[in-house]
Amino acid sequence: MKLAASFLLCLFVVTAITSLFPRAVTAQNLALESIDVFLDCERRSCDFDYIRREIPYVNYVRDRTEALVHILVTTERTGSGGRAYKLNFVGMKDFSALSDTLRYTSSGTDTDDERRTGLVRKIAEGLVRYISRTSIADRMVITVTRVSEDELLTSNPPDDPWDSWNFGVGLNGEYEAEETSNNANIRGRLSANRTTEEWKLIFSLGINYRERNFDVGDQTITSITKSGNFWTYVVKSIAPQWSVGVSSFTDTSTRQNRKLSSSLAPAIEYSLFPYSESNQRQITFVYELRFQTVEYEELTVFDKTHEKLLSQSLKLNLDYRQPWGSASAQLEGSNFITDFESSRTEFYSVEVSGSISVRLVRGLNVNLGFGYDLVKDQLFLVKEELTEEEILLGTKRLPTSYEYEFRMGFSYNFGSIYNNVVNSRMNVRF
């Protein structure tokens, strides 16, 4: 009660002080004559402060039910490492008959500033048809740069010397320490990919080394985990809603008791909706058949040091991003058909997960997430009993028949529906 009373007292004092100062007439106040806009975009994809600064002539509201225009921005990664933005302008109330869709694609070599500048330009283009129907239309000036004859002659796209190939390299190192412990971690990555309308080719190499040391009494406990992988993926589009592919995966992992594992897996995918709609809605079914050879670091609970395996899996993926919110779900079932030495059909796994974010009523958002794995295929478990250090530090996997998680959260905002002003002074994150 004392804490609540103190909070209310502080709120009253701040409100009283701010009321003593006259309200300044700014560009944001002038936006009240324009349209109310709800910008629906993930923060990692949109710089909201920059957008409000560059487009100050509309009213940004924080509740879609108050808006005349709902801008839904969805993104996908392009083959060049850039971003493909799809901007759905959904007219509401008096503008319910006006809807539009625009697209903007950034390059993989664009800086953050170039990317956000291009997105702002596209948002401004989409708002023109709405602003032209308001009282500030007379103040709107549209400029189109005239194309010169030389530009017309050279307007054909130039030859691509890289033939749509893109490459990436990364190396990260971390070290932290305190009086009785230290932790070092090194991660490296190499990648190459080529993406066209017909083909997708991905090659990826990754390594990870982590060492942790703990001083316990007069001894030092050291934990080392190492892993590495090389992954290739080739996908061919065979119809508007069908694709085939093959992947290969080679890896080593101390935690998974794999000295060396190699696999080859052909797969086929069917999309219920055309792939062109994937950034707003997608339902896909994927069937995969995987042949695998494994060499273990230590003897397994099934007295194996190496083995050959054949498994199959069926995956269902659902993704929706609509004005009311977003939802996704995944369901995957897999089992071993045989190991060519004895039947292993009783070894299987089922994974189901999902998340949903919904705006229930004005200002109220609910977020739910869950995951459940039925684990019946841990063929790699070490036969020898694990030490207390290995269990506590998680350097080796423990036997389990299930894994699950559940997430829930909600947020409720109330007060002024307008959020036009940008003030970056002494930024504090709550």
Cβ(338)–Cβ(345) below 8 Å: yes
- Only one residue has tokens 């934990």, namely 223
Residue 386 has pLDDT above 80, yes or no: no
Phi and psi at residue 361, to the nearest 5°: -140, 180
pLDDT computed for residue 315 by the predictor: 95
Rounded average pLDDT over 379-406? 79
pLDDT computed for residue 27 by the predictor: 47
Instruction: Please give the radius of gyration of the chain, using alpha carbons only, rounded to the nearest integer.
Output: 28
Residue 155 has pLDDT above 70, yes or no: no
Structure tokens at 222: 């050291």
Q: pLDDT, tens digit, for every residue of 211-248?
A: 999 888 888 888 889 999 999 999 999 988 899 999 99
H or E segment and range at residue 408: strand 402-412
> What is the biggest distance separating any 2 CA atoms in the chain, rounded to whole angstroms?
84
The average confidence (pLDDT) of the chain is 82
pLDDT computed for residue 248 by the predictor: 95
pLDDT computed for residue 313 by the predictor: 94
346/330 Cα distance (integer angstroms): 23
Tally the residues of the chain.
430
Q: pLDDT, tens digit, for every residue of 54-106?
A: 888 888 887 888 889 999 998 888 777 788 898 999 998 888 888 889 999 88
Residue 429 has pLDDT above 60, yes or no: no
- Only one residue has tokens 């189109």, namely 144
Q: pLDDT, tens digit, for every residue of 177-198?
A: 998 899 999 999 999 988 888 8
Structure tokens at 29: 């106040």
pTM over 0.75: no
pLDDT computed for residue 114 by the predictor: 85
Q: pLDDT class for 418, splitting at 50, 70, 90?
A: low
Cβ(315)–Cβ(332) below 8 Å: yes
pLDDT computed for residue 371 by the predictor: 95
pLDDT computed for residue 276 by the predictor: 76
Q: pLDDT class for 26, splitting at 50, 70, 90?
A: very low
pLDDT computed for residue 264 by the predictor: 95
Structure tokens at 378: 């841990």
